[in-house]
Amino acid sequence: MKVTATEFSRISNLKPLQKLPVQHPANNRINHFDRSFHDWYRFVLSFPPHLVRDYIRKFELEKKAVILDPFCGTGTTIVESKLNKFRAIGIEANPFAHFASSVKTDWQINPDDLEFTAGIIAKKAYTQLLTEGIDDDKYLTTKVSPDVLRQIDGEKASLLLSNSISATPLHKALTLLEFISEFKNAQVYRYLLVAFSKALVFRISNLKFGPEVGVSRQKGDTPVIAPWLEEITSIVNDIRSIQGDEFPQSTIILGDSRDVSSLLKPKSIDAVITSPPYPNEKDYSRTTRLESVLLGFINSKAELRNFKKTFVRSNTRSVYVTDKDDEWISDNRKIRKIANEIERRRIEQGKTSGFEKLYARVSKLYFGGMARHLENLKGVLKPGAHLAYVVGDQASYLRVMIRTGQILAEIAEDRGYEVVNIDLFRTRFATATGEQLREEVVHLRWNGKG
């Protein structure tokens, strides 16, 4: 069922703000009336749009307020703010996620042009594949030699997770992408690519998603063109549903959230609603690796390394010798105690891999990066600004419990923020420790002092 943006806002405004319930992780799935725009491309573990609405109400924001998401990912906060008629700014360090959120928050296209162009491309791609003995509707009708199939070669291929996409679906996807590229000067080009990326990851590839991205059962073949057209149709219907309505401007900035003052005007932000990375072994660059490589956002290991250096260090795959963010929390006893316990257990258990030796350091770098972010953020906040940080407890490093929300609140308080509350969002069961891990919203207020 499609719900227009006007109806959407009316429905959400009828719902009173309630105390956040303890939820099962499955409740992270978005409701049917939340799928418009959000579902063009969305991280599997993104926080749900209703959480943004809840905090917009809780903060009692005026319509002229500007909302910031400094870790905007694929744009949940920005899309939801825009649907509710608030101007929003996002900052994202991952080039593909920045691209996806930029497209999801730009609704100035003609849906008829998008639909028509996609139809032309689909026909060309389908016809080309038929000449090669491939019927994309009925899978292979003729055995195709591996020599005929298109591949990703060289260094780009080495960037992919092994077996993340099978040979025949990859060939068909690259064929489709070639015909999409013929329209790279068209206004609708970016939307064609976002639809391609959504279909690629969730329908065509062999990828699966949990706390970390992995590979599931290999698909010998699977449709490519039809899933892409379905995603195009979804975008077209969403754009048509808001025609005649007006929405405020949204901006997505490619940059490092730890240096936010260099990206935004002083005292320009009324509220922050965000979900930064958690201190665990989830490499956020791997989550979007397949689409980043196929679309050319990453072409080499050097490019990958350069943009990973702009991330808050939340996992050992993103730690570098020159990192110094831990200096920001060098006097924090609680973080030092956690790091010491992680190192003690590593030695006790005889863990000697390069990554395991970094566990203690990354725990300090993570909180140091967040301290640097919070300190840098103060200059762009208006006095009285409210902030909501969605974070979760973690026990990824040798089962040492890290109460992320509590520690983040203490770091913020040390830097002059008022801790209004730590709201429980939901709990999830950790199989490693047998404990319920809390996912919380750290509610802060900036009074303009400090």
Domain positions in the chain: 5-107+248-446, 111-241
Q: Which tens digits make up the pLDDT trace of 308-322?
A: 999 999 999 999 999
The model's confidence at residue 143, banded by pLDDT at 50, 70 and 90, is low
Residue with tokens 């009173």: 16
Q: Are 28 and 48 in contact (CB under 8 A)?
A: yes
Q: pTM of the predicted model, to two decimals?
A: 0.90
pLDDT band at 210 (very low <50, low <70, confident <90, very high): confident
The pLDDT of residue 442 is above 80: yes
Q: Are 295 and 226 in contact (CB under 8 A)?
A: no
CA 133 from centroid of its chain's CA atoms: 38
Helix (H) / strand (E) containing 418: strand 418-430
Instruction: Please report which confidence band the pLDDT of residue 20 belongs to, taking 50, 70 and 90 as the band edges.
Output: very low
Cβ-contact 37, 104 below 8 angstroms = yes
List 207's β-bridge partners, or say none.
Answer: 215
Per-residue pLDDT, averaged over 91-101, amounts to 97
171-175, 219-223, 252-256, 326-330 — which is least confidently predicted? 219-223
The token pair that represents 420 in the structure block: 């209004």
Q: What is the DSSP string of 164-219?
A: SS-HHHHHHHHHHHHHHHTTTTSTTHHHHHHHHHHHIIIIIS-EEESSSEEE-SPP
Which three-class secondary structure state does DSSP give residue 326? Answer: helix
**Listed residue (172, 164, 165, 163) closest to 139, CA to CA:** 172
Predicted confidence band of residue 436 (pLDDT cuts 50, 70, 90)? confident
First-to-last alpha carbon distance for the chain, in angstroms, is 49
Which CA distances in Å does 93 have to 54, 185, 388? 26, 25, 20
60: which residues sit within 8 A by CB, 6+ positions away?
A: none
CATH node for 5-107+248-446: 3.40.50.150
Sign of CA dihedral 54, 60, 66, 69: negative
